[in-house]
Amino acid sequence: MRKRILLLSFFYPPDLSAGSFRAKALVDALCERAAGEIDIDVLTTQPNRYHFQANEALAVEEQGCVRIRRVQLPVHKSGFVDQAKAFAAFALQANRIGGGGHYDVVVATSSRLMTAVLGSWIARRQRARLYLDIRDIFVENLRELFIAPLGRPLAFVFGALERWAIGRANKVNLVTAGFLGYFQPRYPKQRFSLYSNGVDDDFLDFPVAEPAEKALEKPLHILYAGNIGDGQGLHLIIPALAQRLGARAHFCIVGAGGRLQALRDAVTGDDLNNVELIPPVQRERLLEMYEQADVLFLHLNDFSAFRRVLPSKLFEYAATGKPVLAGVAGFAADFVRTEVTNAEVFAPCDLEGAIAAMEKLSLEPKARPEFVERFSRRRITEAMAEDVLELVREAD
């Protein structure tokens, strides 16, 4: 008898996000490894990552052993309240749909904790085994994202939800080893695996061009692509860096998020003509922009919680062979120094450190085949799929 898996992911293709690509890769790996043995129901949302780019997808879509169900969300933006309302709408519909069938295993991939909580609730109702894929430490972040008096009570409430979800899970995967220092002391009896984001297939054959002779008068093309929120803190570093470098560099910032307006205001207020803000683009266009860039830029805000984080964007950046300038600390800084050649690290929000790090970079692109092979997403998700299938085989 075929076993049934329910996979919960707030984002799923055609949505553009690390969680979306990760969920799809896991579903594909499960189907490849257990064709004919399992059926997978994916519960997700209509594309909503960027409210101005919300293209409708099919509400119900079947692909082999996979059935994808996308629920409609209310119009929302990047604010905490809007996101809470959007998730509540998802949770209500997912709980109704998920409760309508029998599942042997529930898999939830979660960044802001609540998808994990939802998966735990549905698994409990279904008496199913539970596999959690944790991509962020939401509770620890709350204390810094929200100042007193909100931060502490929010952390208390979500801390209780975290204990309930993690305690209920049969297996928990952490997207980076940096999270172990938080989770292991709190949940010493839990089984943790460490399957990271990895390099997407789109980057496996990325063309690493021979370095061209650069015209002296042409500014350095520095590219950032990703979310623009409090977590990235771009508004705290890009304007100052752009002003300091002047005509020597042109910054291209691609993305959207809760701090986009703050970044735009800072760029306008300082009358900077070397910073270009571009809305999110499709994957094909992004690959072209990576090819055109001289340096790829990454930055995390100066929060202690982010010392445990490993940004998924690092895997994309490293796979291009382009020089990488990273304003990160803690685990991410150690990872860049040990795993990514021709990459320089500076402390978050440190202007002088950023200037010094950039001066050390070699501007010649250089392939990183060992990195790409070691952190291939296909290889990682194949192992992760086998981990999930162990639970499926244990199910009655």
Annotated domain spans of the chain: 3-198+377-394, 201-374
91 by Cβ neighbours in 10 Å (0-12 / 13-18 / 19+) ranks as buried
Q: State phi, psi for 3 to the nearest 5 degrees.
A: -90, 155
Q: Was domain 3-198+377-394 assigned CATH 1.10.260.40?
A: no
Reported pTM: 0.91
Q: What is the pLDDT of residue 13?
A: 92
Local mean pLDDT, 10-residue blocks, the chain (396 residues): 94 89 96 92 84 67 93 74 86 88 94 94 94 94 77 89 96 96 95 94 81 66 95 96 96 94 94 95 92 96 91 95 97 97 97 96 93 94 96 85
Q: What is the pLDDT of residue 396?
A: 64
Contact at 8 Å (CB) between 153 and 146? no
Q: What is the pLDDT of residue 298?
A: 98
Report the candidate in 350, 351, 323 with the shortest Cα–Cα distance to residue 241: 351
Q: Do domains 3-198+377-394 and 201-374 have the same CATH topology?
A: yes
Contact at 8 Å (CB) between 47 and 9? no
What's the fold here for domain 201-374?
Rossmann fold (3.40.50)
Contact at 8 Å (CB) between 177 and 331? yes
CA dist 315 → 25, 132, 154, 324 (Å): 15, 22, 32, 11
Q: What is the pLDDT of residue 54?
A: 52
DSSP 309-342: ---THHHHHHHHT--EEEE--HHHHHHHHHH-SS
Enter the tokens of residue 374: 């070691």
